[in-house]
Structure 1
């Protein structure tokens, strides 16, 4: 008897390895006799199999477990679709690093079976909400599990902006941009930018400058309840982009405001029993595994 009634399946289609894992997973789930729904795009790699197909909107309403086969990018996309819904997300890694998709391909049957038998850990992650304002009206809105980034796009030029936290002026900065990261995103782009690693359970947001035009500018960690506001300087001669998780973007213009807050929508991740954040860091980041015993 499965702990979950209806399972949705999402996979990244560009990879032959991912398609192999999807087929392997579907065959396994069929033997477990669970109710399975395939994402519309994912169903194209299983033609003629006869499995029910649903949009992501339908999956959010009908499923209590979503299994994502792919890399962290695939899970980030799923996160924005299912955040705020009573559905759990389980990741099978077919990408490179795999901080969020933590089941390896050769463990599919073993680990997924354990999850279906109720042997798993849950973890709630918060998302960031980004809103671009122009002349007092909302131009666009986006969600990000990892980060919201303001940057110059394809141009190799510095941009200028003012930063306010809870309506208090912090600084005017010229740099290649700014990463506003959740704890989940602290091991992603923000880490490459020199930001701190934050435990996923922290209620905090990190602001990481990208190549600032001053040696004294450093990452700042603020409370998760903070309202972060960026004003795009009138001095810019280009149109900076605001990107959510590297997958959706909005072009700004001088005078626009970008407001980032903690979203009311949360995401529930599932990990196999024994999952440990620090062990993941050791494995993925190549930290020394010596326990210090002599």
Structure 2
């Protein structure tokens, strides 16, 4: 197990609860003689903190561990920024579901303390890169840990597009769009659209149509190394968008091409040693916790 000494801290902006947890975390880490480095935006929430401040890029270079205080969206943002640095990330939940940020604030000192003492498990999660081109010229680029989504934007019209997987034509579809999800994202937007839950260890990508104009269109699970290519119908009159983790939108037009592939860098996600994917699903998705004795 790695020895963590330099701890980077990133918090979600605009939340009183996050500030409270940041103060608690800061006090604990300093009491335990760890070197704490605050992300520069996070530092603005703790006036008079007296700590070193750094950009996310620099945090990735000088820290042994990053602790994210917020919801899953906060961890998604940190993961996109820090993937290349290959630094482990630990999440403290101040959001809603908390599939990725799985330490409760009420257990912060105990659970974080155990992780820092080496009592943790580590997962490797892959990300997706999305490249959009128009007449072979770059149009936009984005990275996603959860999903890349083709959607109508502000338009209410269906999108016509062709789907290719590894160069093989799959189908022409008219729908509200397509969700291209990693296993990490399979419990997020993909799940809401009827996609399958995938274990995080799977090297697979799921494609989930959004309200397709056919009853036979179903989610498809493909190898994680596959190249997904979408070509917007040239006769399409609306201008759909590509979003990455719901944060970055790339405006597309008729004939534009979107290529989605696995990113060469993976994130290192840290959990307390008792973390269990199925237990998380039971808790977060409301699965039955036991079977009544007959």
Deviation at 1:15, TM superposition (A): 1.1
Question: Equivalent residues in 2 for 1:1-80 (5 A)?
Answer: 3-80=3-80
Deviation at 1:84, TM superposition (A): 2.3
For 1:71 and 1:213, the matched residues in 2 are separated by 34
Matched, 1:97 2:87: no
Aligned equivalent of 1:227: 227
Give yes or no for contact 1:40–1:54 (8 Å, CA) kept in 2: yes
Deviation at 1:190, TM superposition (A): 0.2
For 2:280 and 2:20, the matched residues in 1 are separated by 25
Question: Which sections of structure 2, spanning at least 5 residues, go unmatched?
Answer: none
* TM-score (norm. length: structure 2): 0.98
Aligned equivalent of 2:149: 149
* TM-score (norm. length: structure 1): 0.98
Aligned equivalent of 2:195: 195
Aligned to 1:212, the other structure's residue is in SS state coil
Give yes or no for contact 1:132–1:258 (8 Å, CA) kept in 2: yes
Deviation at 1:292, TM superposition (A): 7.2
Give yes or no for contact 1:125–1:200 (8 Å, CA) kept in 2: yes
Residues 234-277 of structure 1 show CA distances to partners (whole Å, capped at 9, x for unaligned) of 12111110000001110011111000011101000000011100
Give yes or no for contact 1:147–1:182 (8 Å, CA) kept in 2: yes
Aligned equivalent of 2:174: 174
Aligned to 1:149, the other structure's residue is in SS state strand
Residues 53-76 of structure 1 show CA distances to partners (whole Å, capped at 9, x for unaligned) of 000110011111000000000001
Deviation at 1:293, TM superposition (A): 6.3
For 2:204 and 2:263, the matched residues in 1 are separated by 12
For 1:86 and 1:128, the matched residues in 2 are separated by 16
Q: Across the two proteins, how many residue pairs are aligned to each other?
A: 293
Large movers: runs of 4+ above 2 Å: 291-294
Question: Equivalent residues in 2 for 1:102-251 (5 A)?
Answer: 102-251=102-251
Deviation at 1:28, TM superposition (A): 0.6
Question: Which sections of structure 1, spanning at least 5 residues, go unmatched?
Answer: none
Give yes or no for contact 1:64–1:86 (8 Å, CA) kept in 2: no
Aligned to 1:140, the other structure's residue is in SS state strand
